[in-house]
């Protein structure tokens, strides 16, 4: 799906009909992500021939998508705005001013739609042309950009790029869900007046009230460490001015890299859970030497899908990488936790912004490639989650920056997670059925696996990874073989 197979049909802007000026301060949850790469997703939708014919698509489907987008932005106006740093302000803000709009690219692809939907590993560069560029400079950054790409007579893709300092995964998927809802129920009456704009279901209305987020000191920890600076320091030569808003260059890893989607069925997950539990007492965790104060939890009665999915995938990645490049033998993993329900008092599920906090799993860097690495890492992730539940989501927060720095200095590869199997992305129906495929394109910008629920089985999971071709071949072999082992 090379970019030369893509032609731009139109570049336009879509704005909310009548939203007032708004300004939202970025809070401490947001600031870590200030110069991080955007989160990029692609939703693929199959269409009947009657709608995917180009003349019908551009005259009926696209106007419906644009109108419902405008109506949705009336409820989510900050997404049409920019990240700015006002004079005299200690923190940046997200500001929407009437006249601001979301950039929307309309494109057409000659690529094979079925190939795009296939889970089999394919060139990592193929999807890049379906993802819109998110503008940023030293003084401002766009919040969201969209691209709608037609595959004539087959379907279309919606590519969405969002600024991570403005919204986390739960918030960005809330927006897509709201847009799909208004598009599906739209009568395409583009002449409707602002007074008759469609309303959203209460659970889809975003909550922008930043006062529900307490300060770090109110939450009981010292935020004097600066993870943002830690990120910036990884990019020598980049603008390090404190007030700079230009996104750091996390270029996609494309050369000799392939992207694949791997599926874990409910039956697979049960086998993996049973395997860990059956070996729980016979396999010891040897934790990172710097974490002598942590404790390993006792054997649970059950394990979560999240724990075994992450542990299994991470260990398969580490063993495949080590198998191809012997010197790659030190790994660590981390994950972000949605804090909405874990704060005191809890904040509403529809809070719009960032409300996630990262945790590094406490395991020895060599544990991933040991024979029982899967069991060790599953126990480590489970213990970390239990510790967080028992001692609070910010437990050990002061150790985070030094630990990241120490791991980086030691040459440890840190593996991360994007997305969630709880976002329900396969339920987002714009009126033409649920997505045929959902990809987190931005996993090619870092050592990250993308997580989503399985499209056609409740309780199953899809995992997206981008790896060097020889590593992917070994990863696929290890992943499949491990599911048949008893």
Domains, in order of start, for the chain: 3-232 (3.30.559.10), 257-484 (3.30.559.10)
Give the distance from CA 477 to its chain's centroid. Answer: 26
398 CB-near residues (< 8 Å, 6+ apart): 221, 222, 225
Q: How confident is the model at residue 220 (pLDDT cuts 50, 70, 90)?
A: confident
Judged against a pLDDT cut of 70, whether residue 4 lies above it is answered with no
CA distance 483 to 179: 38
Sign of the Cα pseudo-torsion (188, 189, 192, 196, in order): negative
93-96 and 82-84: which strand pairing? antiparallel
Comparing CA positions, the residue from 85, 74, 72, 71 lying closest to residue 23 is: 85
Judged against a pLDDT cut of 80, whether residue 486 lies above it is answered with no
pLDDT attached to residue 231: 76
- This prediction has a pTM of 0.95
Backbone phi, then psi, for 304, in 5-degree steps? Answer: -80, 155
413-419 and 331-338: which strand pairing? parallel
Minimum mean pLDDT range among 62-76, 252-266, 291-305 = 291-305
pLDDT attached to residue 3: 56
185 CB-near residues (< 8 Å, 6+ apart): 198
CA distance 92 to 165: 10
Of 35-49, 187-201, 209-223, 272-286, give the range with the top mean pLDDT: 35-49
pLDDT attached to residue 78: 98
319-331 pLDDT per residue, tens: 999 999 999 999 9
163-172 per-residue burial string, b: 16 or more CB within 10 A, e: under 16: bbbbbbbbbb
Judged against a pLDDT cut of 90, whether residue 191 lies above it is answered with no
Backbone phi, then psi, for 174, in 5-degree steps? Answer: -60, -40
Burial class (CB in 10 A: 0-12, 13-18, 19+), 69: buried
Sign of the Cα pseudo-torsion (295, 296, 300, 304, in order): positive
183-207 per-residue burial string, b: 16 or more CB within 10 A, e: under 16: beebebeeeeeeeebbebeeebbbe
89-125 pLDDT per residue, tens: 989 999 999 999 999 999 999 999 999 999 999 999 9
CA distance 315 to 241: 38
Mean pLDDT, the chain, integer: 92
Judged against a pLDDT cut of 60, whether residue 225 lies above it is answered with no
Return the C-alpha torsion angle 342, 345, 347, 353, nearest 10: -80
Judged against a pLDDT cut of 60, whether residue 460 lies above it is answered with yes
Q: How confident is the model at residue 189 (pLDDT cuts 50, 70, 90)?
A: very low
Q: How confident is the model at residue 195 (pLDDT cuts 50, 70, 90)?
A: low
Comparing CA positions, the residue from 417, 468, 480 lying closest to residue 443 is: 417
Where residue 396 falls (left for φ over 0; alpha for ψ -120 to 50; beta otherwise) is left
Is residue 261 a contact partner of residue 479, using CB atoms and an 8 Å limit? no
343-391 pLDDT per residue, tens: 989 999 999 999 999 999 989 999 999 999 999 999 999 999 999 999 9
23-51 pLDDT per residue, tens: 999 999 999 899 999 999 999 999 998 89
- What residue has token string 């939203």? 19
CA distance 333 to 414: 5
39-46 and 331-338: which strand pairing? unpaired
Q: What stretches of 281-438 show up as alpha helix (H) in DSSP?
A: 305-324, 373-391, 400-409
Judged against a pLDDT cut of 90, whether residue 141 lies above it is answered with yes
Reduced to 3 states, what is the DSSP secondary structure of residue 452? strand
Determine what percent of the chain falls in helix, strand and coil, rounding each to the nearest 5.
Answer: 35, 20, 40
Is residue 163 a contact partner of residue 134, using CB atoms and an 8 Å limit? yes
Judged against a pLDDT cut of 90, whether residue 224 lies above it is answered with no
Active site residues: 164, 429
Is residue 123 a contact partner of residue 65, using CB atoms and an 8 Å limit? no
């Amino acid at each position: 799906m090379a970019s030369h197979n893509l032609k731009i049909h139109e570049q336009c802007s879509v704005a909310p009909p009548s939203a007032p000026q708004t300004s939202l301060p970025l809070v401490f949850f947001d600031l870590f992500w200030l110069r991080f790469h955007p989160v990029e997703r692609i939703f693929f939708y199959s269409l009947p021939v009657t709608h995917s014919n180009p003349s019908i698509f551009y005259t009926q489907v696209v106007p419906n998508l644009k109108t419902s987008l405008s109506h949705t932005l009336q409820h989510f106006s900050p997404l049409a705005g920019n990240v700015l740093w006002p004079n005299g302000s200690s923190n940046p803000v997200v500001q929407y001013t009437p006249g601001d709009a979301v950039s929307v690219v309309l494109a057409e692809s000659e690529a094979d739609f079925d190939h795009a939907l296939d889970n089999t590993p394919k060139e990592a560069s193929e999807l890049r042309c379906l993802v819109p560029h998110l503008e940023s400079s030293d003084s401002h950054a766009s919040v969201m950009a969209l691209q709608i790409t037609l595959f004539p007579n087959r379907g279309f893709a919606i590519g969405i790029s969002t600024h991570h300092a403005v919204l986390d995964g739960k918030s960005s998927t809330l927006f897509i869900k709201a847009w799909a809802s208004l598009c599906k129920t739209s009568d395409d009456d583009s002449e409707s007046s602002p007074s008759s704009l469609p309303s959203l279901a209460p659970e889809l209305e975003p909550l922008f009230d930043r006062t529900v987020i307490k300060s770090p000191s109110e939450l009981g920890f010292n935020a004097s460490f600066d993870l943002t600076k830690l990120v910036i320091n990884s990019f020598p030569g980049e603008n390090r001015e404190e007030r700079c808003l230009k996104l750091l260059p996390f270029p996609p890893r494309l050369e000799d890299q392939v992207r694949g989607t791997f599926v874990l069925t409910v039956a697979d997950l049960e086998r993996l859970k049973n395997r860990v539990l059956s070996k729980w007492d016979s396999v010891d965790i040897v934790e990172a030497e710097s974490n002598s104060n942590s404790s390993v939890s006792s054997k649970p009665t059950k394990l979560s899908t999240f724990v075994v999915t992450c542990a299994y995938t991470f260990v398969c990645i580490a063993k495949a990488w080590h198998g191809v490049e012997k010197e790659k033998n030190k790994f660590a993993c981390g994950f972000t936790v949605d804090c909405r329900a874990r704060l005191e008092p809890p904040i509403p599920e529809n809070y719009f912004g960032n409300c996630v906090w990262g945790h590094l799993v406490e395991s020895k860097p060599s544990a991933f490639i040991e024979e029982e690495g899967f069991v060790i890492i599953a126990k480590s992730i489970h213990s970390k989650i239990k510790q967080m539940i028992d001692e609070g989501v910010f437990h050990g927060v002061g150790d985070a920056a030094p630990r990241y720095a120490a791991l980086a200095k030691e040459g440890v590869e840190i593996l991360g997670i994007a997305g969630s199997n709880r976002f329900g992305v396969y339920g987002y129906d714009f009126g033409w059925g649920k997505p045929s495929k959902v990809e987190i394109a931005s996993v090619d910008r870092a050592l990250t696996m993308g997580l989503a629920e399985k499209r056609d089985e409740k309780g199953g999971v899809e995992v997206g990874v981008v790896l060097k071709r020889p590593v992917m071949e070994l990863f696929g072999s290890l992943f499949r073989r491990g599911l048949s082992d008893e």
